[in-house]
Amino acid sequence: MSNIHESVQMGRNTVIERGVVIGKNVVIGHNTVLLEGTYIGDNVSIGSNCVLGIKPGVNKRMRKTNQLDQGLVVESDTHVGHLVSIYAGTTIGEGVFIGDQASIRENVCIGEGSVVGRAAIVELNTNIGKSCTIQTLAYVTGDTTLEDDVFIGPCVSMSNDKYMGAQPYLLKGPTIKKGAKIGNNASLLPGITIGTNSIVGAGTVVTKDIEDNVTVAGVPAKKLN
């Protein structure tokens, strides 16, 4: 327990496995589990009933993930809500806000000051820039890139699986360029690119790449004006 700073405010019934490192002024809720090898920076707050630092499980119909020797890293000044699950091999940057019931997979990087909303899900091998907002119940699929300042509205859905399970082939999620905004409940197809500062309306189904600085809406997405 020598790697846990004496200033930590620890809830009741917490489970802190071996090799966990906890910085200064950290607050941890009740019934929260920090699994082996998790690193928690200074001034982090974590809610109750969370499970952090999960090692991926697999079955024969799911992808095996790459070697994941690294634990979960949660950098300083970050807030993690209640009932959250986060995997090993992921890095949550400084000053990030993770809402309650969110879930974040392995091999994800979330940039400084971003927000992952309530019950939002971020799948594996995904890179999220700085100051992004991912709203409530949004689904960021695996193998996705969000540049800085991207806004993902509530209930947005993405896919990385063009052939819907007819493996093997390459999985590839969307690439969303700096400052783009995706309206609530929009659907993004595998491998598409949304251009810089472009806007996708609520409920839009995006089937092709969208250029920079345009607004699109409809099923399938068409440029407005």
Q: Binder to a copy of itself among 13, 209, 211, 223 (CB under 8 A)?
A: 13
198 binds a copy of itself (CB under 8 A): no
| Binding to a copy of itself in span 43-72, by CB under 8 A | 45, 47-51, 54, 57-62
Identify the CA nearest to 185 among candidates 135, 144, 142.
Answer: 135
Q: Which of 115, 116, 146, 171 binds a copy of itself (CB under 8 A)?
A: 115
Tell me which amino acid residue 185 is.
Answer: N
20 near a copy of itself, rule: CB under 8 A: no
CB of 209 to a copy of itself, least distance (A): 15
Amino acid making up residue 21: V
Q: In angstroms, rounded to a whole number, what is the distance separating the alpha carbons of residues 32 and 81? A: 11
Distances (CA, A) of 214 to 100, 183, 211, 224: 33, 14, 7, 8
Number of residues in contact with a copy of itself under rule CB under 8 A = 69
CB atoms within 10 A of CB 64: 8
Which of residues 3, 9, 66, 207 is near a copy of itself by CB under 8 A? 207
Dmax over CA atoms of the chain, in Å, equals 63
76-95: b (≥16 Cβ within 10 Å) or e = bbbbbbbbbbbbbbbbbbbb
> Which positions touch a copy of itself (CB under 8 A)?
11-13, 15, 29-31, 33, 45, 47-51, 54, 57-62, 79, 81-83, 85, 95-97, 100-101, 103, 105, 113, 115, 118-119, 121, 123, 131, 133, 136-137, 139, 141, 151, 153-155, 157-159, 161, 164-165, 181, 183-185, 187, 189, 199, 201-203, 205, 207, 218-219
